[in-house]
Amino acid sequence: MFKNTYQDKKVIVTGHTGFKGAWLTIWLLKLGAKVVGISKDIPTNPSMFEELKLAEKITDYRQDTRDAKAIQAIFETEKPDFVFHLAAQPIVSLSYEDPLETFSSNVMGTAHILEALRFADYSCTAVIITSDKCYDNVEWVWGYKETDALGGKDIYSGSKGAAELIFNSYYYSFFQNHSSVRVVSARAGNVIGGGDWAKDRIVPDCMRAWSQDKVVEIRSPEATRPWQHVLEPLSGYLNLGQELALNPKLNGESFNFGPKAEYSHSVKTLLQDLSEFWHFEKPTDAYQVTANIPFHEAGLLKLNCDKALFHFKWLPTLGYEELIRFTSKWYYDFYQAQENMWDFTLQQIQHYEKLAQAKEIRWTE
C-alpha cells in the first residue's frame, strides 16, 4: 500500500485525538509509521482516540497550535518525515458561538505549522488539510475545481478559505525553493464513519440517540449531501503525501478529494438506510423532523476531483451500500456488541484496502 512510503517514517498528525485524525493515526500505524500526535484536547466523550487507547501506541502531545513557540519546539525535537495537519475547530455551529477561536485555531494554527516547517533543516513532506468549504459557494450545480475562487459567507468557511490563502502565501514566500520541505493542501467534504461523536453532526447525533432507544431530531430531511466515508479522503491524503515525496512538481499544489456525484442522497434516505442495523419497526421511526434551523447552512457543494484522478489515478473506493454498512456496523458493534474496537477498526481498514485493490486503485500498489 502507498508503495511502503510510510514504513518506519515519523509522521506528525495534528488533530489526532479527533475523528479524522484518529482514523489516520490508526491507518498510519498499520502502514508501519511512527506517529507523533499534536492536539489541544480530546474533543468528545466517548472518543475513538480513548476507546482505542491510541495514546499508548504513539508519541502523544497535548498542545495548542496557537502557541507558535511550542509548535516550533515539537517540530525541532521530532524532525518528522511527513506532516498531516488536521487540527482545527471544525463545527459550523460552534463557529457562530466563538468566531475568534475558530479563526485563531484554523487560520493562525495553520500558519504556525507552516512557520515551524519553514525552519526545518530535515526533509519533510506536509499535507495541509482544509475543507471543501474553502470555496466561495455560489450554489451552482457544477463541481468546484482547485482553481475556483476561495471564500466563505460563514465563519467556518471563511476560516478554511483563509487557511488556504495562508498556505498559498507560505508556498510562494518560503517553500517554492525550500531545500528540504514540500507542501500541498487537500480539500474534502463532509465525511461519515464509525467513531465520530462531534456535536451537531447528523450521524453522531443519530448514533447517540439510537444507542439510547431515542428518536433523533433532524432539521432538513430533503437536504442532499455528497456522503463519503472517512477512509476515502484519508486515502487521498496518504496518496498525496506519497506522490509529493516523489514528485517535486506537485509542491504548492492543492487537490480535491470527494465522492462521485451519484453518491449524493438526502438526509432522510441516509438515516433510513443507517437505521436498518438498529431494528426500528419502520425506518421512519428512527427520526423526527423539526423545523428549527438556527443558523445559515450552505447548500450543496460538489467537488470536481479530476486533478487527483489525472495525477495519481485517485478514486473513491466504497459504493453507497458499503458506506452505510461500514458506518452503521462500527457504531452498532461499539454500542451493542462490545467488540474490541481496535481490532474491528483495523479490520475495516483492511477490508477497505481490499476493496480498493479489487478496483485496482493505484495507491494499493
Ligand X SMILES: NC(=O)c1ccc[n+]([C@@H]2O[C@H](COP(=O)([O-])OP(=O)(O)OC[C@H]3O[C@@H](n4cnc5c(N)ncnc54)[C@H](O)[C@@H]3O)[C@@H](O)[C@H]2O)c1
What residues make contact with ligand X under the rule CB under 6 A?
15, 17-21, 39-41, 43, 64-66, 86-90, 105, 109, 129, 131, 188-191, 198
Residues 15 and 57 sit within 8 Å (Cβ to Cβ): no
Q: Which is nearer to ligand X, 19 or 320 (CB)?
A: 19
DSSP code of residue 324: H
Question: Cβ 118 to ligand X, closest distance in Å?
Answer: 19
Closest distance of CB 267 from ligand X, Å: 14
CB-nearer residue toward ligand X: 109 or 158 = 109
The number of angstroms, rounded, from the C-alpha of 304 to the middle of its chain's C-alpha atoms is: 17
Residue 273 near residue 324 (C-beta atoms within 8 A)? yes
- CA-CA distances (angstroms) from residue 30 to 16, 24, 362? 15, 10, 18
> What is the nearest approach in angstroms of ligand X to the Cβ of residue 351?
21
Q: Looking at beta carbons, which residue is closest to ligand X?
A: 18
189 CB neighbour count, 10 Å cutoff: 21
160 near 133, Cβ under 8 Å? yes
Omega of the bond prior to 204 within 30 degrees of 0, cis? Answer: no
Nearer Cβ to ligand X (109/161): 109
Nearer to ligand X, 303 or 315 (CB): 303
Cell numbers that stand for 45 in this block:
466523550
CB of 38 closer than 8 Å to CB of 63 = yes
Question: Residue 76: CA atoms inside 13 Å, Cβ hemisphere, count?
Answer: 8
d(CA 16, CA 39): 6
Q: Between residues 189 and 364, which has the closer beta carbon with respect to ligand X?
A: 189
Comparing CB distances to ligand X, the nearer of 92 and 364 is 92
Cell of 85: 495537519
Q: Using CA atoms, how far apart are residues 28 and 20, in angstroms rounded to an integer?
A: 12
Measured from the CB of residue 177, what is the shortest distance to ligand X in angstroms?
Answer: 28
- Measured from the CB atom, is 10 or 225 closer to ligand X? 225
CB of 252 to ligand X, least distance (A): 20
Distance (Å) of CA 281 to CA 208, 275, 276, 277, 288: 19, 10, 9, 11, 15
Output the CA torsion sign for 242, 243, 247, 251: negative
Indicate the residue among 18 and 236 with the shorter CB distance to ligand X.
18
Using alpha carbons, select from 181, 188, 204 the residue that is nearest to residue 44. 204
Question: Considering the complex, what minimum distance in angstroms separates the CB of residue 212 from ligand X?
Answer: 21
- Distance from chain centroid for Cα 120: 25
Q: Helix, strand or coil for residue 318? A: coil
CB nearer to ligand X: pick between 9 and 112? 112
CB of 287 to ligand X, least distance (A): 20
Smallest gap from Cβ 84 to ligand X, in A, equals 10
For the CB of residue 37, give the shortest distance to ligand X in the complex, in Å: 8
